[in-house]
Amino acid sequence: MKKSRFRHNSPPPLPAPPVSAVNLANGIVDDFNNILTTVMGACSLIDKEAAGSTELLQYVNIIRASAERAASLSDKLAQHAESHQNRGNKNRLSDVAKNAEIILSSPSDNTSNGNKP
């Protein structure tokens, strides 16, 4: 068999561009919001199908309130990450995680009233 003088090896992969903490936080927020959209859509479908089941609808309302609070918190995280970047601060992932913990532990305007069925 004759050896080819051309190599069929692929070129080495290009290095991945560095991901800033803000871009990472925004990506997580986007993915999380996609999940919440699915949850909210399922709640709407259950509303239509289970019109006669008061107990089920109470549970759906709790799920909906929790999803709305989660969406509000993820928006706050994205806003915080953007404002942090706009101030010219270096974004370390540990700082974003620490600030996310503070944001998530703070009360939200969209909190559920805690009533359970």
DSSP one-letter string for 1-36: -PPPSS--PPPPPPPPPPPPHHHHHHHHHHHHHHHH
Domain boundaries, the chain: 21-105
Q: Which residue has the tokens 């859509």?
A: 41
- Beta-carbon neighbour count of residue 29 at 10 Å? 20
For residue range 56-85, what is the model confidence (pLDDT) as tens digits? 999 999 999 999 999 888 888 888 777 766
pLDDT at 22: 74
Residue 111 is encoded by which pair of tokens? 């909190």
Contact by Cβ (8 Å): 62, 112: yes
Residue 114 is encoded by which pair of tokens? 């805690």
For residue range 26-63, what is the model confidence (pLDDT) as tens digits? 888 889 889 999 999 999 999 889 888 999 999 999 99
CA neighbours within 13 Å on the CB side: how many for 74? 20
Kindly report the pTM of this predicted structure: 0.57
